[in-house]
Chain A
Amino acid sequence: MSDAVSGMAEPDQLLDVAVDDLGIVRLTWVRGLRITEELANHAMTLVDRVNGSHERPLLVDMTGTAALTRPARVTFTRRCSASRIALLGQSPVDRVIANFALGVSSVPVPTRFFTSEPSAVAWLRHDDTGA
């Protein structure tokens, strides 16, 4: 197993957090990753740090995620500085994982799964125009 999949590498190497020109925060996970509670915490901390006192929409690219542990899912139910969350994936596996994250534990802000990035962005920005 590669370091990436086992998650024993430095957390910073396993995910990327940045704000794009549209003011959307993009969280991208390394492919084939088993997302643990520790990684989930780290991700939320980074997002909060990037946002500061603002709330911004969040686009999570979880394509190819191998697994999402239960403790990690519980962590994601915590309130953070994301005003809306779009989960982006491709495969049926992505869809299953995303829906576990959505349905089994309640999430604090509107959250949806998308297989198309433009749709995800449009939905996230819909919030900005005050709809």
Chain B
Amino acid sequence: MTTRAPEPGDDRLSQLVELVVELASGDRGARMQPSPASDEIDAVIVGINMMAEELQALDADLEARVTERTLQLEQAQLQLERLALYDPLTGLANRTLLADRIGQAMARADRGAAPPAVLLLDLDGFKAVNDSFGHAVGDLLLMEVASRLRAVVRESDTVARLGGDEFALVVIDATNDQVLEMAERIRTALQAPAQLGDQVCWVSASIGVCFAVRGQQADALLRDADTAMYEAKGTTRGAVQIYETRMHTAALSRVRLADQLRGAIAGGQLRVHYQSIVDLQDGRTSGVEVLVRWQHPTRGLLLPAEFIGVAEDTGMIAALDRWVLDTALAQLAGWRATVLGNSAFTMHLNISPIELRSPRFADEVLGSLAHHGISPADLVLEVTETQMTGDDAQTLQALETLRRAGIAVAIDDFGTGYSSIGYVRQKFLDLVKIDRALVTGLDTDPQQHRVAAAILAIVDAFGLDAVAEGVETAAQAEELRGLGCRFGQGIYWCAPMSAAPMTMHLTAAAHATKRAAS
């Protein structure tokens, strides 16, 4: 602090001027000693001193506040960046940051570095975990997966969560073999069970790998990796699939098919065929299975295997199944009114497990039955064993509602899945359809015979009836009858056919029954 002592002769005013000049120049610490006179000039001196002191204090205050605010702003900025670029649940990069990293890697590739590899993976069975144990556990699983992925990659690589149960990786400066090795390590790392709170869960991942080509855009890379992953999902659980150009063609044709299917459902290109089911004990036609076909304008008659998958992926399965249900029930009403009368007869309908997870499904089925005047006891719903992961509450509730109304449930293609016994033990089944693979060679191959016998014994032990599919010869039919199989279905009796020939078939069968009875 600069202090000026009063000098002999009263030049206080000029000193005051000096003080003000100093203060004005920015020296907030400048002060002047008043004289003992304590007169007006001293009052001005004291006043200026005190105002300068005030200014100094306010200045310091302001500086401190600016510093604090700047710090807060910087922290807020960091937080915003975090939010904008990182997934809040797992702390992994998000889609935005991933695209940025891919872009950077491609730029480096343009300058001569090796192009990056993009891996896309999603978890098989994640939905089941969420449905069975709740979202809290599902979140824990995602965090566990994230930390396992982080442990596998190197510092220079990026791990991202794209949302849901989808993750992506960008790997730079690695050979193709090294990338595949990493994919394999990821697959292995994810196979180990995860301890999530009180639960132990298993998941596996389908991994799509795409090796970038110089000049490719980030979204094209992700799309190709996604296409490869889609292929991986189609195989066994936990597969790694490298993208190939043919996959792109396949993906495109799937999209095209989906478009055409939309038109087909509305435009009357779908057909319903029927195949009879025979009671092996008395040879009577006890029912029919309803089989959907698509009369494609250029590709001819398509079987379900060629388009049901696309329907399920695109959500059209609901409209498709509804059309089939409506058409088949109308047909059954027609048969009941003419050739069938009140005789025991059931109609078997295939439904997608996706439908069972839809809350309105049960009501729609019951509504359709009522609309056509068909008794629920006439309907059997068939669900494919390999597709049923259904431990989820929604599926079980739908099945319960349907069965309580009197509708029977059959498990289809039995014997081709991995957890057969489990489903047979479930209380929601009435009927088991033995897959044709178990019927083939049953009359010629002793091994097949033993297997078929064992399966039928299991079904019987659970108090269920069996329908053997794919019966082609009288010998097979006879063997099955001998093993206690109740029903059979196959070209031995009749091939799938449209309504008109089936009507004739049923009429002939009805006459044959009448003749046998008389």
Question: Which A residues fall within an 8 A CB radius of B?
Answer: 64, 66-70, 90-97, 100, 104
Whether A70 and B53, one on each chain, are in contact in the complex, defined by CB atoms closer than 8 angstroms, is: yes
Other A-B pairs, 15, CB within 8 Å; known A70-B50, A93-B34: A66-B34, A67-B49, A67-B50, A68-B50, A69-B53, A70-B54, A70-B57, A90-B38, A92-B38, A93-B42, A94-B38, A96-B47, A96-B50, A100-B47, A104-B54
A71 to B354, CA, bound (A): 76
A115 to B57, CA, bound (A): 30
Which residues from chain A contact B38 at a C-beta distance below 8 Å?
64, 90-94
A95 to B39, CA, bound (A): 10
Whether B42 and A91, one on each chain, are in contact in the complex, defined by CB atoms closer than 8 angstroms, is: yes
Sort A-B residue pairs by CB-CB distance and give the 9 closest, nearest first: A92-B43, A91-B38, A93-B38, A96-B47, A96-B43, A92-B40, A93-B43, A93-B42, A93-B46
A37 to B5, CA, bound (A): 25
A92 to B40, CA, bound (A): 5
Whether B34 and A100, one on each chain, are in contact in the complex, defined by CB atoms closer than 8 angstroms, is: no
> Closest chain A residue to B37 by CB distance?
A91
A70 to B38, CA, bound (A): 20
Which residues from chain B contact A92 at a C-beta distance below 8 Å?
38-40, 42-43
A67 to B49, CA, bound (A): 9
**B40, B42, B46, B47: most-surrounded residue (chain A CB, <10 A):** B46
The smallest C-beta distance from B17 to any residue of chain A, in angstroms, reads 18
Question: Contact mask B39-71 → A, CB, 8 Å, 1/0?
Answer: 110111011011001100100000000000000
Which residues from chain B contact A100 at a C-beta distance below 8 Å?
47, 50
The smallest C-beta distance from A89 to any residue of chain B, in angstroms, reads 9
A-B contact pairs, 10 of them (CB 8 A): A67-B46, A70-B53, A70-B57, A91-B42, A92-B38, A92-B42, A92-B43, A93-B42, A96-B43, A100-B47
B contact residues, range: 10 to 19
A58 to B50, CA, bound (A): 24
Which residues from chain B contact A67 at a C-beta distance below 8 Å?
46, 49-50
The smallest C-beta distance from A77 to any residue of chain B, in angstroms, reads 14
Asked whether A91 and B57 contact (CB < 8 A) given A67-B46, A67-B49, A96-B50, the answer is no
Which residue from A90, A97, A104 sits with its C-beta under 8 Å from B46? Answer: A97
Question: Which B residues fall within an 8 A CB radius of A?
Answer: 34, 38-40, 42-44, 46-47, 49-50, 53-54, 57
A66 to B44, CA, bound (A): 13
The smallest C-beta distance from A107 to any residue of chain B, in angstroms, reads 16
A16 to B39, CA, bound (A): 26
Which residues from chain A contact B43 at a C-beta distance below 8 Å?
91-93, 95-96
Which residues from chain B contact A70 at a C-beta distance below 8 Å?
50, 53-54, 57
> Closest chain A residue to B49 by CB distance?
A67
> Closest chain A residue to B36 by CB distance?
A32
A92 to B39, CA, bound (A): 6
A2 to B42, CA, bound (A): 20
Which residues from chain B contact A64 at a C-beta distance below 8 Å?
38
Which residues from chain B contact A97 at a C-beta distance below 8 Å?
46, 50
Which residues from chain B contact A104 at a C-beta distance below 8 Å?
54
Which residues from chain A contact B49 at a C-beta distance below 8 Å?
67
The smallest C-beta distance from A93 to any residue of chain B, in angstroms, reads 4
> Closest chain B residue to A97 by CB distance?
B46
Which residues from chain A contact B47 at a C-beta distance below 8 Å?
96, 100
**B38, B40, B54: most-surrounded residue (chain A CB, <10 A):** B38
The smallest C-beta distance from A59 to any residue of chain B, in angstroms, reads 20
The smallest C-beta distance from A96 to any residue of chain B, in angstroms, reads 4
Which residues from chain B contact A90 at a C-beta distance below 8 Å?
38
The smallest C-beta distance from A105 to any residue of chain B, in angstroms, reads 10
> Closest chain B residue to A92 by CB distance?
B43
Which residue from B46, B53, B54 sits with its C-beta under 8 Å from A96? Answer: B46
> Closest chain B residue to A94 by CB distance?
B38
The smallest C-beta distance from B118 to any residue of chain A, in angstroms, reads 64
The smallest C-beta distance from B374 to any residue of chain A, in angstroms, reads 89
> Closest chain A residue to B41 by CB distance?
A92
The smallest C-beta distance from A21 to any residue of chain B, in angstroms, reads 31
The smallest C-beta distance from A69 to any residue of chain B, in angstroms, reads 7
A104 to B38, CA, bound (A): 21
Which residues from chain A contact B34 at a C-beta distance below 8 Å?
66, 93
The smallest C-beta distance from A58 to any residue of chain B, in angstroms, reads 22
A68 to B46, CA, bound (A): 10
A94 to B40, CA, bound (A): 10
A91 to B50, CA, bound (A): 16
Which residues from chain A contact B46 at a C-beta distance below 8 Å?
67, 93, 96-97
Which residues from chain A contact B54 at a C-beta distance below 8 Å?
70, 104
A89 to B43, CA, bound (A): 12
A95 to B49, CA, bound (A): 14
A93 to B38, CA, bound (A): 5
The smallest C-beta distance from A92 to any residue of chain B, in angstroms, reads 3
A68 to B34, CA, bound (A): 13
The smallest C-beta distance from A60 to any residue of chain B, in angstroms, reads 17
> Closest chain A residue to B50 by CB distance?
A100
The smallest C-beta distance from B300 to any residue of chain A, in angstroms, reads 94
The smallest C-beta distance from A114 to any residue of chain B, in angstroms, reads 16
The smallest C-beta distance from A5 to any residue of chain B, in angstroms, reads 11
**A64, A93, A100: most-surrounded residue (chain B CB, <10 A):** A93
A75 to B49, CA, bound (A): 19
Which residues from chain B contact A96 at a C-beta distance below 8 Å?
43-44, 46-47, 50
